[in-house]
Amino acid sequence: MIEEINFLLIGIIAGTITGLIPGLHANTIALITIYSPLEKNIGFALFVISMSITHSFVDAIPTILLGAPSEESFLSVLPGHRMLLQGKGFEAIQLTIFGGLFASITALLLMPFFFSFTNNYSETLPIIIPAILFGTLVLLLFSEKNKLNAIIVILFSSILGIIVLNSGIKNPVLALVIGFFAIPSLLQSIFSDTKIPEQKKSFGNGSSKTAMLAGFVSGLISIFPGIGPSQAAFVSKKIFRNMGKRGYLTIIGGINTANLLFSLLMLLVIGKTRTGMTVALNNIISVDMKIFPILLAGAVVSVGLATIVSEFVAGEAIKITKMNYQNISKAILIFLVFIVIYLSGIMGLIVALSATGISLFGLAGKVKRSLAMSFLMVPTMLFYLGIVF
């Protein structure tokens, strides 16, 4: 038991470190553990779980403070950066942390329902998921004033996504996310001479109620297999319009963590993997009814410890805003270019630059950058409709 606890605590430390590295994705780290020379036992499985969950909490910090998202946190760049420029960056991070905590509680309460849903309604998912995504994309299009530019962004983002996701390029989503969301944000910071105001360590009035509602919503939406954090956040934003940026940030933080918990149950129930964490677990240990309670207990403990660690790290990391923000943005931009080349090759860099061009066109055309999410939404719809390229 002591050995298992040590593995879990080491996972917390590892997840904190990886979460603070801009652009690094939890799935990448989890999959790397498969090739570790360490003995593949239940202790190592707890290490993977605690590392993945902690990463899902901590990676909001570089996303909001530096505009450098991972694959699962890129949607928090825009509202998080807006709050940062208002001196509320610490509150923005707190909202994602609260979302992760509250959504985890919701996910645990909904697990019996999820178990029943998976057994009885899994065959209808290929119809439900594309319908939800298509309807949401249409609503977003009609909410734009400049519909021609919006259609162009959706069309080119979708085409790029379809081509890249079927090209065999390593870590294609990472290259696309960095191109669509990270590089444009960093370029804006560099060339607009952004001044970051002093950050307040406070939680805004009314945030708690919004956060609780958003946390519940994020946990509920995460039930649906096949709908990842990005799609779920996108759908919930259109359904619950009155949540505002605080509720939206909470949804992002909540979905990422709840998604990990539900993926653990899915591995038990139907033997399918939906995250890098469960792919790694599937290669480490056989998850059955005897092992599952131990893994779930480790996940619960990890959520509690990750909440505490993230709060402390955020309080220290917020001090970075007192430094020269343009120099920081330049350093992060260079680092992300290196990450793309290292993980996706030169073709990955070309993909990222292509995505950046589309995103900058959208900014110049005064349409929401979230339209670029069609790079993932359209391929997902086509996949569930059985259209394969």
Angle at 65 between CA 180 and CA 13, to 5 degrees: 105
pLDDT for the residue 30 = 63
pTM surpassing 0.85? no
Tell me the torsion sign for CA atoms 230, 232, 233, 235: positive
pLDDT for the residue 305 = 95
pLDDT for the residue 387 = 79
Other CB atoms within a 10 A radius of the CB of residue 108 amount to 17
Mean pLDDT per 10-residue run, the chain (389 residues)? 86 89 64 64 88 89 69 56 80 86 82 74 69 80 87 94 90 85 79 71 58 58 56 61 71 79 78 72 82 90 94 84 73 86 91 94 84 85 77
pLDDT for the residue 258 = 81
State how far the alpha carbon of 228 is from the alpha carbons of 155, 223, 233, in Å: 21, 10, 9
pLDDT for the residue 353 = 95
